[in-house]
Amino acid sequence: MKTTVNKSPRKSFATMKLLPIAASMLIWTSCAHYKVIDADKTVRRLKAHDTFLAPSDGWFVPDARWLELREALADKIESLEHPK
């Protein structure tokens, strides 16, 4: 038994026209924008009770405390920029 697949030449032609455009867009957008993060600035998410070995000396702050500090700092900056 012989089956034939009827492909529309128009649909095939349209796909072949769009394929190089899509490939070039993918290449240019994915390769053009990148940022290298220094090893000492990487963010490492830890689960509870996991041990952490620091790669360098520094301050390591839990998320909740960091948010408190960040909000306090933002409030201080805002009060300095917009005095009452």
For the chain, domain boundaries? 9-81
Ranges 17-21, 22-26, 68-72, 78-82: which has the least confidence: 22-26
- pLDDT digits 0-9 by tens, 31-71: 556 666 676 667 777 888 888 887 778 887 888 888 999 99
pTM greater than 0.75 (yes/no): no
Q: What is the mean pLDDT of the chain?
A: 76
In angstroms, rounded to a whole number, what is the distance separating the alpha carbons of residues 52 and 3?
62
Per DSSP, the residues of 36-73 read PPPGGG------TT-----SSSS----HHHHHHHHHHH
13, with CB counted inside 10 A (0-12, 13-18, 19+), is: exposed
Length, in residues, of the chain: 84
